[in-house]
Amino acid sequence: MKGKKDPPQLLLKFFRWFCHPKLRSSIEGDLTELYNERLEEIGKRKADWKFSIDVLLLFRPGIIRPSEGYQQINQYGMFKNYFKVGIRNILKYKVFSFINIFGLAVAMSVCMLIILMLADQKSYDQFHEKKDRIYRVLTKIKTSLKPNASSPFPLAQAIRSEYPITESATQLTPGPGGDVMYKEKSVEMRGFFADQDFFNVFSFPLKAGNKKNALASPHSMIITSNMADRLFKNEDPIGKTVDFTNRGLNHLMGDGESSASPWGSFTITGVVDDGAFKSHIKFDLLISASTMPALYTEEKILNRTDDWQQYSYTYTYVLLNSKSNDNDLKDALNDLAQRKYKDFEKLKGLTLIAQSLPDITPGIFVGNPISFSLPIEVYYLLSVLALAIMISAGVNYTNLSTARALTRAKEIGVRKITGARRRDLVYQFLSESVMISFLALMLAMVLMNFIKPAFKGFWVNQFLHFELDQNLYVYLAFAVFALLVGIFAGTYPAFLLSKYQPLQVIRKRENEKPNKWGTQKFLSTSQFVISLFFITTSILLYNQFRHHLAIDYGLDSKHVVNIKLQGNDYDKVANELVKTPGVINVSASDYLPATGTQNGASLKIAGSEKDFIQHTVLQANNLFTENLDIRIIAGKNLPSSQNSKYILVNRSAARRLGFENPSDIIGQLIERSGSSENLEVIGVMENFRFRMPSEQEEIAPLMISDKPSAYRYANIRFVATDRAEFVSRLDEAWKQIDTSHPLSYKFYDDQLAENNQGFVDIVSIIGFIAFLAITIACLGMLGMATYSVERRTKEIGVRKVLGAGDNTIALLLSKSFLRVLTVSVFIGAPLSYFVNNLWLQRFPNRVDFGWGTILTGAFILLSLGLITIGSQAFRASRNNPVDSLRME
Amino acid sequence: MKKYQLGEFEEIVMLTVGILHLEAYGVSIKKEIETRLSRKVSVGALQSALIRLEDKGYLKSREGDATEERAGRPKKYFQITALGKKAMEYSKSTRNELWDAIPKMALSLKIAG
């Protein structure tokens, strides 16, 4: 009822804003009266209209309040004054200003790094013209917690033809990965099969070629401009014919599983300008999907045209038409999944989920991703850590400003007596804290220039490709962030300080004792507890890392270099390499143990009733065990005749298959699931680690058989010598074997050390956070100690005159801080012990986490804390009392 | 030099305030002018005229009671001051003098023409 009769509120507010305060109420009364009369006579709409006209006509000189005079002039002047006083305060108390600005800047730089990371991720896939209508279809099976980025092959076709809500759908099928050859030159490329709708859905920019037909005919190929430069140098790539040999290289930078197979010749129909965009879809080449049928008939790839069961085969992207929304798509996908999967007992309950393109980076954690990226959960975790640091730094500011209230009391009193309202004082203190926070922002920008390269140099970044460019939006975000930090840190002191009664503070200032500092102590204690937690965690992680580094793999990786065969015949390679001076022995394997890859097989004793047991399978020749110094503890080595009937098993496989004594298994026939031919155990190896140390503690069952067609690496043992020189000799030999590929080698011990690179990153991050946490906590304590010493100068002087010694005074000054440190250790030590144990217990190959680690952490914390307080306490205690007493 | 400054609209407002005597406030003045002279008066024009007149000292105002139809806002009543009365009289007499000074011929010619 009331709302219906009211005049337009927006205009009324406008009127109240511009009208001279003296005239406001009577004119508003007139307006209201007129409005109410008109409401009766001509109805609401016309009355509103006339009211608006009246208000607008009132907007004239004489009625508009003066822009100067009244309140405004006062405020501008005051803000200028606040600014001036703020600067003077910063300059006058240099130590406190430094502590505040430096602490805030350190914390800010970390937060800014995360803002940069998010901005970097947000810039992905922004170039697609129809990005708001593009969705990726995820598959989620009932038993899995996380959805899969990939989907079944027939999905795109089904969505395209059966649901009119889609304008188009395209799919990217992994598969192509190998060598593209042009005139004796060859370049390794990885990519996808892409259908003709690819360019209907996405807007990848083509430097050359026509989007309409680039992917139309079979044996068409699109490459990136980077690859084109490498392959064709200055020639125009369009229309050139290249040969492609597929080596099954994975689109995720991994190694392939198949040996080289020639796919015939392709025509280059387009060049994608890969410098011009950032996308979560990363490829070197795209092959037209119409090539696939030819490859099916040649049995080069599997035909999955109607295979709904293989749900991790391809990546499907849907473009909705402009009239439909994501709910329509959701319904369609539910309907589709229901219909297609009702007959498959195993896949019942499989759901198809639509994920919009902007949600992919940064996005939720998905299985079988199309490219590596940090899942959003990691950002949450990092943001929480960064915010914890930020809050800690903000707390320092709050603490110090509150503690120093007494120093400012006189100023507050004078301001209040000359007419400042409480609000004005709040503004003053807030503007001061915002000023400090912007100064901190400037320092943080400088600091960030040091952190950024370190972050980009992380091992994981070679997969994540963070670029961290700074642009206008990022700077804007920084400015908003600094403003928020300033307000957040300044609010509490502003409201507390502005509360003081003027007369009291002026009169009783000298007598007033610093308050008990209850809040400050609590906050300071929590800072140290958190610091202790991070210190112990990083020590623990570092120990764990050292433990992994020192782990005995059970094989001799020293002086072994592994060379990728890159599709060459092993015997040819081995014959050539063995002749190279310095080479002791050459062996073959299909992958390298303990570098992250493994294949599996299910084995049991032939004819036994027991279940199959999962084994890891390695294909290697007879020289492999000898080369890596793996001891045969029973039976003999594989025969040199390359007979794949004979196998070696390790000690734990023998035990799992039921033979406590390794020599008993020799000669046993083994049945392999899915294979009709039985295998015969010819020898048992000593256990060695073939998994990464972070994967498993117990050494799992392993079998080695000899299948020459699977060889992909040559393992070379060489004489201890200068590595660089040896590599150059290998390179010479390699050129005799293969002219088109460059030598691809890695030293085995480097490769094993690389296993821990991810660990190094985590240790550095946590260590850095620990460093920040303790720095900020110590800065805070330094500030408090400095202040309390300053306040008690006179007391110290009197005590010294009366005969107190230096040590007594130092102890007196540091007593309350020592208590804070002790309490922190007593709370923090058990806390970090229990929390760290939670994750450590799930960790394979873990170190002992005794109280030793905790004690080291506590020792570090205490010594840093003591240095902080001590520096102030001793400085004060050695002062000449005459100086301090003469201060009056 | 003019002795008293009073514009045309200002004069009308002054006269209306006089007519309404003690009942002159924004809305009543506006309505009075609108009915008597059948011309539209906007709140803005009226208010700025009233402010000018008050500044010149021709009008004085007092705050009235707040009523419900005005959502609790007070009425501002206007009254003519002695100076205001003089100004009105001055303006009336100057006009009369000017009227009287017009020769009869001019007027009748104008009408005839």
Task: Give the separation between CA A586 and CA A578, rounded to whole angstroms.
Answer: 7
Give the angle subtended at the CA of A367 by the CAs of A362 and A372, to the nearest 5°. Answer: 50
Tens of pLDDT along B39-72?
888 888 888 899 889 888 899 888 887 777 777 7
Backbone torsions φ then ψ of A533, nearest 5 degrees? -60, -50
Q: A363-367, A832-836, B49-53 — which is least confidently predicted?
A: A363-367
Q: How far is residue A700's CA from residue A420's CA, in Å, rounded to a whole number? A: 77
CA dihedral A114, A117, A121, A126 (to 10 degrees): 100
Question: d(Cα A460, Cα A761) in Å, to the nearest integer?
Answer: 8
Which CB contacts under 8 angstroms, 24+ apart, belong to B70-75?
A: B70/A29, B70/A30, B70/A32, B70/A33, B71/A28, B71/A29, B71/A32, B73/A25, B73/A26, B73/A28, B73/A29, B73/A30, B73/A32, B74/A25, B74/A26, B74/A29, B75/A26, B75/A29, B75/B25, B75/B26
- At residue A506, the pLDDT reads 60
pLDDT of residue A439: 93
pLDDT in tens, A137-154: 998 887 777 888 888 888
Residue A497 is predicted with a pLDDT of 82
Task: Give Cα separations from A449 to A437, A442, A445, A468, A770 (angstroms).
Answer: 18, 11, 7, 11, 20
Residue-wise pLDDT tens digits, A543-560 = 888 888 888 888 888 888
Is A239 within 8 Å of chain B by CB? no
SS3 content of chain A, % helix, strand, coil (to 5): 50, 15, 30
User: DSSP string of A187-214?
Assistant: EEEEEEEE-TTHHHH--PPEEEE-TTTT
Torsion of CA A881, A884, A885, A886, to 10 degrees: 120
Q: Which is more confident, A461 or B88?
A: B88
- pLDDT averaged over every residue in chain A: 84
Contact check, Cβ <8 Å, A63/B51 = yes
CA A37/CA A50 separation, integer angstroms: 12
Q: What tokens appear for A426 in the block?
A: 């709040």
Q: What is the mean pLDDT of residues A175-203?
A: 86
Q: Do B48 and A60 touch (CB under 8 A)?
A: yes
Task: Please list every residue in chain B whose beta carbon sits closer than 8 Å to the beta carbon of residue A7.
Answer: none
- For B43, which of A25, A30, A36 is closest by C-beta distance? A30
Distance from CA of A72 to the nearest CA of B (A): 22
Exposure on the CB side of residue A388, measured as CA atoms within 13 A: 19
Which amino acid is located at A371 in the chain?
S
Helix (H, G, I), strand (E, B) or coil at A315: strand
Banded model confidence at residue A372, pLDDT cuts 50, 70, 90: confident
3-class DSSP state for residue A247? coil
Distance CA A650, CA A703 (A): 7
Question: CB under 8 Å to A835, separation ≥6 — which residues?
Answer: A533
Say which of A58, A61, A62 has its CB closest to residue B43: A58
Rounded to 5°, angle at Cα A804 from A801 and A809:
115
Report the percentage of chain B scoring pLDDT > 90. Answer: 16
Cα(A596)–Cα(A457) distance, integer angstroms: 22
* Chain A residues whose beta carbon lies within 8 Å of the beta carbon of residue B77: none
pLDDT over threshold 50, residue A163: yes
Integer Cα distance of A767 and A774 in angstroms: 11
Radius of gyration of chain A (CA): 37
In this prediction, residue A2 carries a pLDDT of: 43
Residues of B in contact with A53 (CB under 8 A): 42
A62/B45 CB distance under 8 A: no
Residue A271 near residue A226, CB atoms below 8 Å: no
Sole residue written with tokens 């929480």:
A384
Mutation site, B54, B60, B70, B77, interface A, largest A CB count within 10 A: B70
Q: How far is CA A160 from the centre of its chain?
A: 35
Q: A792 is written with which tokens?
A: 């008690």
**pLDDT mean over A129-141:** 89
Nearest CA among A74, A144, A151, A204 for reference residue A314: A151
The pLDDT of residue A508 is 55
How is A470-536 classified by DSSP, letter by letter?
Answer: --HHHHHHHHHHHHHHHHHHHHHHHHHHTT--HHHHHHHTTTPPP---HHHHHHHHHHHHHHHHHHH
CB–CB of A198/A168 below 8 Å?
Answer: no
What's this model's pTM, rounded to 2 decimal places? 0.68
Question: Is A181 in the B-facing interface, judged by CB distances under 8 Å?
Answer: no
Beta carbons within 8 Å of A85's beta carbon, 6+ residues apart: A411, A428, A432
Nearest 5°: the CA angle A856, A860, A865 is 145
Tell me the C-alpha distance between A773 and A528, whole Å.
8
Q: In 3D, which of A192, A162, A149 has the Cα closest to residue A354?
A: A149
**Nearest Cα to A315, choosing from A132, A199, A156, A133?**
A156
Note whether A30 contacts B69, CB cutoff 8 Å. Answer: no
Average pLDDT, stretch A857-882? 85
Residue A379 pLDDT greater than 60, yes or no = yes
Is the CB of residue A223 less than 8 Å from the CB of residue A237? Answer: yes
The gap from C-alpha A48 to its chain's centroid, in whole angstroms, comes to 55
DSSP string, A826-873: HHHHHHHHHHHHHHHTT-SSPPP--HHHHHHHHHHHHHHHHHHHHHHH
**What pLDDT band is residue A63 in, cutting at 50, 70 and 90?**
confident
Distances A328 to A323, A337, A357, A525 between C-alpha atoms, Å: 10, 14, 16, 54
pLDDT at A334 over 50: yes
Interface probe, candidates B46, B47, B55, chain A, greatest A C-beta count within 10 A: B47
Q: How far is CA A185 from CA A188, A240, A248, in A?
A: 10, 13, 19
pLDDT over 90 at A32, yes or no: no
* A218 C-beta neighbours (distance < 10 Å), count: 16
pLDDT value of residue A517: 62
pLDDT score for A487: 92
Using a CB-CB cut-off of 8 Å, the residues of chain A touching B41 are none
Instruction: Give the whole-angstrom CA distance, residue A615 versus residue A702.
Output: 5
Q: How far apart are CA A715 and CA A472, in angstroms?
A: 52
Q: Residue A657 is encoded by which pair of tokens? A: 């298959």
List A583's β-bridge partners, or say none. Answer: A718
- Partner residue facing B48 (CB), from A30, A34, A62: A62
Distance CA A336, CA A158 (A): 8
**Nearest Cα residue to A172 out of A191, A158, A147:** A191
B positions 16-75 inside 8 Å of A (CB): 25-27, 30, 42-45, 47-48, 51-52, 63, 66, 69-71, 73-75
d(CA A85, CA A392): 26
Distance CA B78, CA B63 (A): 9
β-pair type (A646-650, A679-685): parallel
Share of chain A above pLDDT 90, in %: 7
Rg of chain B taking only CA atoms, in angstroms: 17
Give residues with Cβ within 8 angstroms of A809, minimum separation 6.
Answer: A796, A799, A800, A873, A876, A877
Q: Which of A25-34, A403-412, A515-524, A645-654 has the lowest mean pLDDT?
A: A515-524
Amino acid making up residue A122: K
For residues A112 and A3, give the distance between their C-alpha atoms in angstroms, rounded to a whole number: 46
CA atoms within a 13 Å half-sphere pointing along the CA-CB vector of A492: 15
Contacts of A694 (CB under 8 A, 6+ apart): A548, A755, A758, A759, A843, A844, A845
Q: Which residue of B lies nearest to A57 if distances are taken between CA atoms?
A: B44
Tell me the C-alpha distance between A404 and A272, whole Å.
Answer: 62
Res A255: pLDDT? 58
**Cross-chain residue pair A63–B26, CB shorter than 8 Å:** no
pLDDT digits (tens, 9 = 90+) for B2-31: 677 888 889 999 999 999 888 888 889 998
CB pairs under 8 A between A and B: 67
CA A369 to chain CA centroid, Å, is: 15
Distance CA A528, CA A540 (A): 18
Decide if pLDDT at A3 tops 50: no
Q: Hey, are the CB atoms on B73 and A29 less than 8 Å from each other?
A: yes
What is the number of alpha carbons within 13 Å of residue A625 lying toward its C-beta?
26
Closest-CA distance, B55 to chain A, in angstroms, reads: 11
For residue A154, how far is the Cα from the chain centroid? 34
